[in-house]
Chain A
Amino acid sequence: MTFAIRTTALTKRYDDVAAVDGLDLEVERGALYGFLGPNGAGKTTTIRMALGLIHPTSGAVEVLGETVTTDRGPLRRVGALVEEPAFYRYLSGRRNLESFARAGGRGDDTRRRLARIDECLSLVGLTDAADKRVKAYSQGMRQRLGIGLALLGEPELLMLDEPTNGLDPTGMREMRQLLRGLADNGTTVFVSSHLLAEVEAMCDRVGVMAQGRIVAEGPPGTLRGAADRVRIDVDDVAAAQRVADRQPGVSILSAGGDGPGVLRVTLAGDATPAALNAALVAAGIRVSALVAERDTLEDVFLHLTEGLDVPR
């Protein structure tokens, strides 16, 4: 099995602080991989090392089976968006793509990229704005152009740092569909994000980074706490609390404390929202809403770091 990205004990130290601390990361080819973490977790530093922009203090990073150094690597087969997109503001969107296509690379590679400019502009919905100067672009348009640039070389691996930044909800959905489509066609897509919901909505696999290390890794569903939280709106909180208390696997978080008629519980083991609902209705309680409450990334971190740092 060759990996799209593989780091072994990858470390980057700035003075005494390790931004990336002995990172072992494996991203399989063809996956849509979500790289989660709060600001300062080391995501961007990792991406920059994988792209040969930053020298690792120790350890190594392999991309598409080749070791990356600052002067060589398989970058011709990689498309990247590193932090925010950046362009020559005095050139149009199209001329920017032309400039980057012509910068470096062999003749056939350059010609291939030049021939794909129109296609990439239309993929990211910028055909009409292609001849405007980037100076006049909105943040969302720059973000789209950045993705268009990353796609120019028909990369085998896309590394995108916060690709939905600055996009409106429609743009975000389009972006997710675009990335999902690329992944389904065999492109490995590596996306960093601090939005758990976004990563869950599209990724096959998720790695969570905190303080320079991977603290959790796996399919997106496994990241949340073992217990699911449910919020139930009922007409009689006290009666509902009594019923819920008798159900196995249900523990009460709050009863009426988060608003009138609001009962919040966690479910563990075999307990399901449907079973709880049935029990409440059977006891004559009127349930007007039953909402699964999703963990935010903060909750996940709380959960993960609880397990790591402070054993209770």
Chain B
Amino acid sequence: MFRVEIGKALRRWRTWLLAAALAGVPVLIVIAVKASPPEPQAAEDAPPFLLQIVQNGLFAPLTGLAVVQPFFMSLAIGLFAGDAIAGEAQAGTLRYLLVRPIGRAKLLGAKYLSAMSLTGALLLGVIVSGLVAGGAVFGFGPLPTFSGTTLSTTEALVRVVGSGLYILLAASGITAVGLWISTLTDSGPGAIVATVIVAIASQVIDQIPNLHVLHPYVPTHGWLGFTGLFRFPVDWSGMRSGLTVSTAYTAAFLVLAVWNFRRRDVTS
């Protein structure tokens, strides 16, 4: 079932469109920085990675990940998880899958794994295109950390890939929420939009200092924790709380999704 899901996604234009959009982000950043290097006085407004990109191509995939995460990745999760059941219901194919027969819990499991894998593949695409574009234009070199120390090129590369992995794992919670939303409606677009809204609202709440009491409870909490990988010593606290929250959300919403999907009448 998992293989079928991946195969179906790979034959849809929208998957490739999204992949192209995401992979294009680091390329655009590289081009923009090459065309007009940031002025020193702009330093205070610019995102932290952007300033150092001129020194090192390794910043391109990192900046790409940071730029892609808040919106494009939310959209991807909407498309892969939010649309998972609702889209099949809308197309009418859900009933034919279920009478194949495939158990409802098993179907949800395959949908969840394929959504995570596809999101992971998109993030990998961002890293690869960033490395290619950044390496070609700026070359690679040792990477300065926020703490003033320096990482060797190899070590920096490992941490870039580690950032991608963390971003994916931190997104597992919202992916489960999207899957649950998907079992609530027979409208694919409705479920996609609802999932994207939840993901973005959750990030907004997580950024507003006045709402700090809520922070540990939103599904996207700690999404930016991967920046801790670029401190010396590595700051695990953000990532630890991010993974705790996403794991709790994954468990809770997968259970909810299975429970709801199993008791539901499929009338689509």
Per-residue contact bits, chain B 5-26, to A (CB 8 Å; 1 contact, 0 not): 0011001110000000000000
Instruction: Summarize B's interface: helix, strand, loop or mixed.
Output: helix
Stretch among B69-77, B197-205, B237-245, B259-267 lining the A interface: B259-267
Per-residue contact bits, chain B 95-129, to A (CB 8 Å; 1 contact, 0 not): 11111111111110000000000000000000000
Task: Select which of A52, A76, A80, A86 is within 8 A of B92 by beta carbon.
Answer: A86
Of the listed residues B11, B12, B91, B263, the one surrounded by the most CB atoms of chain A closer than 10 A to its CB is B11
Of the listed residues A53, A75, A102, A105, the one surrounded by the most CB atoms of chain B closer than 10 A to its CB is A53
Q: Distance (Å) between the CB of B118 and the closest chain A CB?
A: 16
Task: Select which of A55, A95, A105 is within 8 A of B100 by beta carbon.
Answer: A105
What B residues does A51 contact at CB under 8 A?
A: 95, 98-99
What A residues does B95 contact at CB under 8 A?
A: 48, 51, 53, 82, 86
Is B1 interfacial (CB 8 A cutoff)?
A: yes
Q: Distance (Å) between the CB of B200 and the closest chain A CB?
A: 28
Q: Distance (Å) between the CB of A111 and the closest chain B CB?
A: 14
Q: CB distance B101 to A102 under 8 Å?
A: no
Task: Select which of A53, A87, A102 is within 8 A of B265 by beta carbon.
Answer: A53
Q: CB distance B91 to A104 under 8 Å?
A: no
Q: Which chain A residues in 86-122 approach chain B with CB under 8 Å? A: 86-91, 95, 99-100, 102-105
CA distance A72 to B101 in the complex (A): 8
Size class of the contact patch on chain B: 20 to 34
| A80-B99, A99-B7, A104-B97 known; A55+B91 contact, CB < 8 A | no
Is A73 interfacial (CB 8 A cutoff)?
A: yes
| A87-B93, A102-B3, A104-B106 known; A52+B99 contact, CB < 8 A | yes
Q: CB distance A88 to B91 under 8 Å?
A: yes
**Chain A, residue nearest B98 (CB):** A53
Instruction: Summarize A's interface: helix, strand, loop or mixed.
Output: loop
Is B208 interfacial (CB 8 A cutoff)?
A: no
Q: CB distance A104 to B102 under 8 Å?
A: yes
CA distance A85 to B92 in the complex (A): 8
What B residues does A306 contact at CB under 8 A?
A: none
Task: Select which of B96, B104, B107, B267 is within 8 A of A100 by beta carbon.
Answer: B96
What B residues does A90 contact at CB under 8 A?
A: 11-13
Interface residue ranges, A against B (CB under 8 Å):
48, 51-55, 70-73, 75-76, 78, 80, 82-91, 95, 99-100, 102-105, 149
Interface residue ranges, B against A (CB under 8 Å):
1, 3-4, 7-8, 11-13, 91-93, 95-107, 262-263, 265-267
Can you list the 10 inter-chain pairs with the closest CB atoms, starting with the nearest? A86-B92, A104-B102, A75-B101, A53-B266, A54-B265, A104-B100, A102-B4, A86-B93, A51-B99, A80-B99
